[in-house]
Amino acid sequence: MLSRVANTFYWMVRYVERADNLARLIDVNQQLLLDSESLDSERLRGFWRPIILSTGDEEVFHSLYDDAESGEVIHFLTDDERNPNSIKSCIGLARENARTVRDQLSDELWEELNSLYLWARSAEATRLLVADPAEYYQRIRRSAVTFLGVAASTTLRNEAWEFMGMGRHLERADKTTRFLDVSSYLPDATEGEENAGPLHWSAILRSCGALGSFRASHREINDNNVVDFLVFSGEFPRSVRYCIEKLDVSLHRISGNPRGTFSNDAERETGRLLADLNFGSSADAFEVGLHGFLDSLQDRFNTIGEAIFDTYVLLPERIDVCPADESPSPSAIALWQMQQQQQQ
């Protein structure tokens, strides 16, 4: 597959996943606000600031807005096209990526994404966002899930599918850590209120669609159990460990390299992270501090994303600038790989 096409599939799905998760992230805060009706205006503003901080877009936000009021934050994250990571911008970028590989997509998949794109820019969507924000975000989430379902039902299980899966799972793992990281920025607005902890963690579980699955395997909703479930579960499809496992599978299917070994930096970095998650627990996260732990995971996701780009998108450019007579022989490559594995 051409590197340009592979990159397009990867980002098409990643942008859809990002729009879905932004809708979920806003939902986290709205649910927490419903449980904190006694907040005054100053403390209410303090509840919106964590969303900007958790997305990592605070620099862009403060260049456009003076204060983190609820209206400004919602507009910035939802339909402000000056923000390249807003829901509306992500849907537009996903649709533009899909357009460039239109001939390689099923009709059903293109129609679903194009319908979402047109609706997000319609007057109906604008009215709904003002009149019933919860329904607006629910519509975004349903459309994103439908898109992924159509993709799963109509896409050949080839390299295109694996690149789509890589984009979906890396973005999903990143946003799950950001859901959890909201707690690191929240003011002590509910301090002293009974059951404030369980309400907060329940909101995060609901926004991940995880509350039912969590209750099937855990009795008590608390910080340790929620972090253990959303980060280290090997069975829940939005947990970090599950997503990195799927990412590792896709990388090795593309390269043809056996799992447990590596042939490029993307496989090596993913394998290292997966090993840490396989043998980690929530105790490890709280020992170093939850925010620091989640921040380190996000840094590692970024490293993996850069390695994927370097391996599969920049590769043709590297081949062009390398003299043909300096290309290593297959035996030299095998020796190098063996040496690298011995150093791990």
pLDDT digits (tens, 9 = 90+) for 151-204: 999 999 999 999 999 999 999 999 999 989 887 766 554 443 433 478 788 888
pLDDT over 60 (residue 62): yes
pLDDT value of position 45:
59
- The DSSP 8-state label assigned to residue 327 in this structure reads P
Average pLDDT value for residue range 87-111: 96
Give me the residue label for tokens 């986290």.
28
pLDDT averaged over every residue in the chain: 85
Instruction: Give the distance between the most distant pair of CA atoms in the chain.
Output: 73
178 and 301 Cβ atoms separated by less than 8 Å? no
DSSP 27-47: HHHHHHHHT-TT--HHHHHHH
Two structure tokens written together for 138: 């629910």
- pLDDT confidence bin for 341, thresholds 50/70/90: very low
Would you put residue 289 in left (φ > 0), alpha (ψ -120 to 50) or beta? left
Using CB atoms within 10 A of its CB, is residue 3 exposed (0-12), middle (13-18) or buried (19+)? middle
- The DSSP 8-state label assigned to residue 313 in this structure reads T
Give the span between the Cα atoms of 75 and 87, in whole angstroms.
10
Average pLDDT value for residue range 7-18: 97
Output Rg (C-alpha) for the chain, integer angstroms. Answer: 21
pLDDT over 70 (residue 333): no
- pLDDT confidence bin for 43, thresholds 50/70/90: low
Give the span between the Cα atoms of 41 and 259, in whole angstroms.
53
Angle at Cα 200 formed by Cα 206 and Cα 179, nearest 5°?
Answer: 60
pLDDT digits (tens, 9 = 90+) for 190-234: 443 433 478 788 888 988 889 999 999 888 999 999 999 999 999
139 and 46 Cβ atoms separated by less than 8 Å? no
pTM above 0.75, yes or no: yes
pLDDT value of position 199:
79
State what percent of residues in the chain have pLDDT above 70: 83
pLDDT value of position 314:
82
Query: What is the residue type of 338?
Result: M
pLDDT digits (tens, 9 = 90+) for 249-297: 999 999 999 999 999 999 999 999 999 999 999 999 999 999 999 999 9
- The DSSP 8-state label assigned to residue 222 in this structure reads -
Domain residue extents for the chain:
1-155, 176-182+207-322
More confident residue, 340 or 277: 277
- pLDDT confidence bin for 323, thresholds 50/70/90: very low
Would you put residue 122 in left (φ > 0), alpha (ψ -120 to 50) or beta? beta
pLDDT over 90 (residue 147): yes
**How many CA atoms lie within 13 Å of 49's alpha carbon, on the beta-carbon side?**
13
pLDDT over 80 (residue 31): no
Would you put residue 236 in left (φ > 0), alpha (ψ -120 to 50) or beta? beta
CB count within 10 Å of CB 327 equals 10
